[in-house]
Amino acid sequence: MKAFLLRQTGGIEKLRPEEITKPRIEANEVLIKVQAISINPVDIYVRKDINALKTFILPEAGQDIFILGWDVAGIVEEIGEDVKDFKIGDAVFGLINFRGAGNAYAEYVAAPESQVALKPNNISFEQAAAACLAALTAWQALAIHAKLKPGEKVLIHAAAGGVGHYAVPIAKHLGAYVVGTASADNKEFVLSLGADEFVDYQNQKVEELVTDADVVLDPMYGDHLLRSIKAAKKGGRIISLLTDFEGAIAEAASMKEVHGYHMAVASNGHDMKEIASLLERGIISSHISASYDFEELPKAHQHQEVGNSRGKIVVKI
């Protein structure tokens, strides 16, 4: 099969297409003939930086060849002897082995059955591949970690991005009042996702406009959390996707009695079934900002690296 291999971290030229043998499945795994994958910011960090690679892929001792990627949609071609919930020919999608080796940039991927869900019939493989890591993050952040409740006010930063464009409709579905931030060009897009209010983060100070959020979803680096703490009400909850609550940030949170969590998304088939149901009912949908052919995968990386402004970037296999 064809796969994109990484033998050394660095620029997009380090992603090289090569012929390798198909993966063998374990008893609890399905072999997926991949139809589409999606690119996430973490794919870029891992391609460029050996420490990120070690953190997210958890290489085996001595391993020096890697296949990046975790978001997969495709058709089950083989099933392991213990697999109960899937059969050959099923269309499935999922976030595979995060953290660990997802090995998604390939024509075939071995996936534990506990990490995938049936793809709804009313969406394409590309839309399904898009709705893995990003959609699971939005769901796990708001429904599981923040336990968002009807009537609460939630501030969603980067509401037009991969995570944000699922988080806004998920928050509305959970009954919240939603404020979304993005650049001005994305105003109509964010409002079309169901946000009640829009803040242009480049020209407005969100922490002056919002000071009473029950929940804030913050996917930014560093001091940005200080602004989220100001935007949260006393006793509010902040889910941070990148930055730890430590030092001055922990102090500011404690002064305001704000509860801060730094979360990491995790592969989970049960949660993928929730995502499938939300997609099937049209409560969330995948906005594909760009779709590349498999041989163009390095270009898809370049696109994500210079900045994906809206929705998701996918690759067709």
Ligand X SMILES: NC(=O)c1ccc[n+]([C@@H]2O[C@H](COP(=O)([O-])OP(=O)(O)OC[C@H]3O[C@@H](n4cnc5c(N)ncnc54)[C@H](OP(=O)(O)O)[C@@H]3O)[C@@H](O)[C@H]2O)c1
Give residues in contact with ligand X (CB under 6 A): 40-42, 133-134, 137, 157-158, 160-164, 181-183, 186, 201, 219-220, 241-242, 263-265, 308-309
- 7 prior amide bond cis, ω within 30: no
Which residue number has the CB closest to ligand X? Answer: 161
Q: Which residue has the tokens 């996918």?
A: 314
- Closest to ligand X by CB, 123 or 199: 199
> C-beta of 218: minimal distance to ligand X in Å?
9
Q: What angle do the packed helices 297-307 and 41-48 form, to 10 degrees?
A: 100
- Closest to ligand X by CB, 109 or 216: 216
- Closest to ligand X by CB, 186 or 267: 186
Torsion of CA 139, 66, 74, 241, to 10 degrees: 10
E strand segments, 96-183: 108-112, 116-118, 153-156, 177-182
Measuring CA to CA, which residue among 278, 300, 281 is closest to residue 132?
278
> C-beta of 61: minimal distance to ligand X in Å?
26
- Closest to ligand X by CB, 58 or 242: 242
- Closest to ligand X by CB, 20 or 220: 220
> C-beta of 20: minimal distance to ligand X in Å?
28
Burial class (CB in 10 A: 0-12, 13-18, 19+), 78: middle
> C-beta of 85: minimal distance to ligand X in Å?
25
> C-beta of 126: minimal distance to ligand X in Å?
15
Pairwise CA distance, residues 153 & 195, whole Å: 11
Residue 282 exposure: Cα atoms within 13 Å on the Cβ side: 1
| Sequence letter at residue 92 | V
Pairwise CA distance, residues 43 & 110, whole Å: 19
> C-beta of 309: minimal distance to ligand X in Å?
3
- Closest to ligand X by CB, 20 or 263: 263
